[in-house]
Structure 1
Amino acid sequence: MSPPVFRFAPSPNGYLHLGHAYSALLNFDRARETGGRFLLRIEDIDTTRCRPEYETAIYEDLAWLGIAWETPVRRQSEHLDAYRAALDRLSALGVVYPAFESRAEIARLVADGPWPRDPDGAPLYPGDARSLSADERDRLVDTGAPYALRLDMAAACRRAVGLSWNELGEGPDGERGVVPARPEAWGDVIVARKETPTSYHLSVVVDDALQDISEIVRGQDLFHATSVHRLLQALLRLPEPVYRHHGLVRDEGGRKLSKSTSSTGLRELRAAGATPAGIRQLVGLG
């Protein structure tokens, strides 16, 4: 039987904070406890926000915490062909379509009165691009208009019914064990854009499958997104990992930590004299 595989997958769009340390340490500790492998993945598909100095800082901060990882590190920007291939498979199933509304246009469409929202609080896609004819879609694409490729959620859910996942941790409302997946709550999510052949949802399930990740340890802020990930795994016939969602490290006001909050940044804490053991105590792993 193959050893379990764990991963920590930060985006190099800022410096790591205590919340990142908690998740990385949990994954690293689980790998050691189970005799498993620990991988580091750099999720850098957002080229407008990701910067080399942040990636370098990730390596420095994790090494300072005493975390070691296998090499080479997988960097998403170097594997766009893998995501493009997965996108082609979804297209062949007839479950993706291009939507041409800008963010501003979508904001205007939902501005008049209440509108249904996804578990993260964003409005569900309000446009009608799904009803465009193939000729009209091709015409708009040929004009060079920007677009997002969206998952036709209704069509996708008809192809994959009765989905669930095995939750070894705990959801925000105490969910444990076999958790029913409800991807329809997210509406027609974006799976790629004209300039980038992937999105977070698509790349994360492709990467986890290609890297043989068997147990995904991550924060409760991604608990509900697991429904979308299970749907994509089913559509693409990818392996189903188990999930272990953990509580979030929050600031004094109870808010989720941000990379812009320097008081909880690992670099700032290290400069102020914090030790790796002290960081473990701060996040409750002492």
Structure 2
Amino acid sequence: MTERDRQTAGKTAPVFRFAPSPNGRLHLGHALSALLNADMARKQGGRLLLRIEDIDLTRCTPELERAVIEDLTWLGIPFERPVRRQSEHFPLYREALDRLKAMGLVYPAFLTRGEVKARVSAFEREGGLWPRDPDGAPLYPTEERELSAAERERKLATIDRHAWRLDMEKALSLVGKPLTWQETGDGHKGEIEADPAAWGDVVLWRSDAPSSYHLAVTVDDAAQGVTHVVRGLDLFHATAVHRLLQELLGLTAPVYHHHRLIPGPDGRKLSKSLGDTALSALRAEGKTPSDIRAMVGI
């Protein structure tokens, strides 16, 4: 497909994307997502993009990116080129963060993970119940929202590591209306009510990474003209944060399709970091792309 063809197609054709992180080998869960994206794009006469989500510059490597492309090619996934790499678009994410700063919606956060953990533990030892997000992680304390400008500048000048967090209360007040998204996935269909407040003051920028997943994925989907996001149910609730960021930044919301997850032998979700069976290992055992389709239930 020529660039002119892509531009013409982009005006009318649905745009899907598969967006793995090259921090490990792809497994059956990734195969399910990639194959669903490819099948849905084909059935709807759409395009399929590949985005490499390599914000984590420590764990993501060119070798693992090559392995991702090798696996997808073996599976017969017809993604368009060139591939988009998040590591090549950090200024775009910074621009989005700066817009939110100018709106007074983000603040520097200085507590370390250890400090937050200690505070939560002490609170719960006294019988309290610390609020947690849909993934079960404790919400970040909110008192830094109220730091004076002078105190913020002092901390920024003297504390090396900090994050930038979204002031959820201010953001929701600015939007001033309920948020929803269109869902076509497994077990959830139709208009879904978004609840960004359940996530508290989410991180948008880390000291050890030049963006956060929430900010980068929202900006990327808009920049690439993605119309259909097909991904696992583990990201279902996170869509509420993405809808809020879309609203704040004036970005169009795609249609979402959250699909079932592939469990391992112990019932937990497959994970690259835990060394679950990789597609490359299955290929070495003699499995074919048709076998992989059967194994993931397509």
Aligned with 1:101 (options 107, 111, 124):
111
| C-alpha contact 1:205 1:232 (8 A) present in aligned 2 | yes
Tell me, in whole angstroms, the C-alpha distance in 1 between the residues paired with 2:273 and 2:170.
39
AA matched with 1:54: L
Deviation at 1:47, TM superposition (A): 1.1
Tell me, in whole angstroms, the C-alpha distance in 2 between the residues paired with 1:151 and 1:181.
16
| C-alpha contact 1:16 1:259 (8 A) present in aligned 2 | yes
Deviation at 1:254, TM superposition (A): 1.6
Aligned with 1:129 (options 141, 144, 152):
144
Aligned with 2:157 (options 133, 139, 142):
142
Tell me, in whole angstroms, the C-alpha distance in 1 between the residues paired with 2:273 and 2:202.
27
Tell me, in whole angstroms, the C-alpha distance in 1 between the residues paired with 2:273 and 2:204.
27
Deviation at 1:126, TM superposition (A): 1.9
1:225 paired residue number = 238
Q: Could you list the structure 1 runs, at least 4 aligned residues long, displaced by more than 3 angstroms after superposition.
A: 194-197, 260-263
2:215 paired residue number = 202
Any stretches of 5+ residues in structure 2 without a counterpart? 1-10
Tell me, in whole angstroms, the C-alpha distance in 2 between the residues paired with 1:210 and 1:7.
12
Deviation at 1:82, TM superposition (A): 0.5
Deviation at 1:150, TM superposition (A): 0.3
AA matched with 1:154: E
AA matched with 1:252: P
2:6 paired residue number = none
Give yes or no for the alignment of 1:73 onto 2:83: yes
Tell me, in whole angstroms, the C-alpha distance in 2 between the residues paired with 1:70 and 1:85.
26
Tell me, in whole angstroms, the C-alpha distance in 2 between the residues paired with 1:264 and 1:167.
30
Give yes or no for the alignment of 1:169 onto 2:185: yes
Aligned with 2:171 (options 136, 156, 180):
156
Against the structure 1 CA distance between its residues 68 and 121, is the aligned structure 2 distance closer, same or farther, given a 3 Å change threshold?
same
Deviation at 1:264, TM superposition (A): 2.5
Tell me, in whole angstroms, the C-alpha distance in 1 between the residues paired with 2:272 and 2:22.
10
Deviation at 1:206, TM superposition (A): 0.2
Q: How many residues align?
A: 282
Tell me, in whole angstroms, the C-alpha distance in 2 between the residues paired with 1:237 and 1:159.
13
Aligned with 1:257 (options 245, 259, 270):
270
Deviation at 1:48, TM superposition (A): 1.8
AA matched with 1:244: H
Aligned with 2:58 (options 30, 48, 66):
48
Which residues in structure 2 correspond to 1:209-220 (within 5 Å)? 209-220=222-233
Tell me, in whole angstroms, the C-alpha distance in 1 between the residues paired with 2:65 and 2:188.
34
Moved more, 57-66 or 158-167: 158-167
Which residues in structure 2 correspond to 1:180-191 (within 5 Å)? 180-191=193-204
SS at structure 2 position matched to 1:248: coil
Tell me, in whole angstroms, the C-alpha distance in 1 between the residues paired with 2:174 and 2:150.
25
Aligned with 1:272 (options 261, 266, 285):
285
Aligned with 2:68 (options 43, 58, 70):
58
Deviation at 1:196, TM superposition (A): 3.6
Against the structure 1 CA distance between its residues 251 and 102, is the aligned structure 2 distance closer, same or farther, given a 3 Å change threshold?
same
| C-alpha contact 2:232 2:259 (8 A) present in aligned 1 | yes
Moved more, 122-131 or 149-158: 122-131
AA matched with 2:227: S
Moved more, 49-58 or 255-264: 255-264
| C-alpha contact 2:270 2:276 (8 A) present in aligned 1 | no
Question: How much identity, in percent, do the aligned residues show?
Answer: 60
Which residues in structure 2 correspond to 1:79-98 (within 5 Å)? 79-98=89-108
Deviation at 1:278, TM superposition (A): 0.2
Q: What is the alpha-carbon root mean square deviation over aligned residues?
A: 1.2
Tell me, in whole angstroms, the C-alpha distance in 2 between the residues paired with 1:145 and 1:128.
20
Cα distance per residue 1:70-98 (max 9 Å; x no partner): 11111000000100110011111111000
